[in-house]
Amino acid sequence: MRLQPTAEQRQFARSLDAMLTACDTPSAARAWAAGDRAPGRAIWSRVAGAGVFALAVPERYEGAGTLPVELAVAFVELGRHAVPGPLVETVAAAALLTRLAETGDAAAAKRLLPRLASGEDMATLAVTAVGPYAVDPDAADLLLVADPARRDAPARARRGPAPSGDAVLRAAPGHGPLRVSNDPVRGRARPAPGGEVLAEGPQVAGAVAHAVGIAALATAAQSLGVGLALLDRTVAYVRQRTQFGVPVGSFQAVKHRLADTLLALEFARPLLYGAALTGARADIAAAKVTAGEAAYAAARTALQLHGAVGYTEELDLSLWLRKARPLRDAWGTPSWCRAQVLA
């Protein structure tokens, strides 16, 4: 019952933090939003070099073994630094292929996993039962789509991932027009129909459900990192910004809002690591909704306490501000997560 990072896990987080701090991730994120992928791809390679994508891939496919706790530790840092790209979708795709291989369907894993683990390929993933869009399909080397096999799958399932029965996994040949997201660093489009069918059957549905869980876990971790970054930046700002002759951070109304922000984030953290340890669906859903809501509340607080300067795109704060809400709703809306907790 030792819910504290080990020395190795702490060191892993510190080294990722140091590496990403040196990468100027805000510039790369801005370039990514403008369609220039080069700086983002360069960071992607370094993230892969640190072993992050290998954390969802077994050793036999050149991964590090499936290590959800380390994955959570890493995604907190990726969120803190606003790293661009379909990070969550890439590890979810890796988790999907891994689970397929574990249940006897190893062809796609053999071919695709080593390149995902090494960072050579960037993947994205759309699960029809969750939503129709894939994140950054134009930047990805591999666009995986999981469809329900039966066309009678109800459209209402779109509010949350509930794959059941058979499913089809395919590599889509392309995608429709990109839609601008509230977070311009997250381009999204509908995958094109057709493409190579990689696997099909009830084992695909199981693997998709597992992948959705890993996506939700990684998104929860990324949300926590986003929330922590928003809090850090806001605390720094209210310490130096003065009004009425004193730092605004000395006003009790400001302090209490930030205290509540810290409180929400610090209670999301153990849920995140607990979920990584158990892998239970209800635990992941609890972590997802709690971290997502905490990060979104942190964004609202950051905006309010930065005042008008926070309401501009120029300030780097906007990179985290705009990310919080989409992450809260991606891979399981709060309402869907709450239903899972009681399911």
Partner 1 sequence: MDLDPSPAAEALRAKARAWLAEHVPAAPLPSLETAEGFAAHRAWEARLAADRWSVVSWPERYGGRGADLEQWLVFEEEYWAAGAPGRVSQNGISLLAPTLFEHGTQEQRARTLPPMARGEVVWAQAWSEPEAGSDLASLTSRAVRTDGGWLLRGQKAWSSRAAFADRAFGIFRSDPVTRRPHHGLTYLMFDLRAPGVTVRPVARLDGRPAFAELFLDDVFVPDEDVIGEPGQGWRIAMSTTGDERGLTLRSPGRFLASADRLVRLWRATADPGDTALRDRVADAAIGARAYQLFTWAGAARLAEGSAAGAESSLNKVFWSEYDIALHETALELLGADGESADTEWAEGYVFALAGTVYAGTNEIQRDIIAERLLGLPKGRL
Distance separating the N- and C-terminal Cα atoms of the chain? 26
- Given candidates 41, 46, 255, 300, which one binds partner 1 under the rule CB under 8 A? 255
- Strand, helix or coil at 90? helix
Of 22, 38, 155, 246, the one binding partner 1 (CB under 8 A) is 246
H/E element, 276: helix 252-278
With respect to partner 1, which residue has the nearer C-beta, 24 or 266?
A: 266
- Using rule CB under 8 A, residue 254 touches partner 1: yes
Yes or no: say if 301 and 256 are a contact pair by the CB < 8 Å rule: no
List beta partners, residue 242: 247
- Identify the burial level of 331 via C-beta atoms within 10 angstroms of its C-beta, where 0-12 means exposed, 13-18 middle and 19 or more buried: buried
Region from 24-32, 122-130, 206-214, 286-294 binding partner 1, contact rule CB under 8 A: 286-294
Which of 274, 279, 303, 325 binds partner 1 (CB under 8 A)? It is: 274
Our finding on whether 304 is near partner 1 (CB under 8 A) is: no
Contact by Cβ (8 Å): 92, 219: no
Strand partners, 66: 56
Q: Should residue 302 be labelled a site residue for partner 1 when binding is judged by CB under 8 A?
A: no
Three-class secondary structure of residue 123 per DSSP: strand
Site membership for partner 1, residue 241 (CB under 8 A): no
Q: Does 22 bind partner 1 (CB under 8 A)?
A: no
Q: For partner 1, which residue of 103, 247, 316, 325 counts as binding (CB under 8 A)?
A: 247
338 binds partner 1 (CB under 8 A): yes
Whether 276 and 68 have beta carbons less than 8 Å apart is answered as yes
**Residues in the site for partner 1, rule: CB under 8 A?**
1-6, 9, 69, 231, 235, 238-239, 246-247, 249-252, 254-256, 258-260, 262-263, 266-271, 273-274, 276-278, 283, 286, 289-290, 334-335, 337-339, 341-342
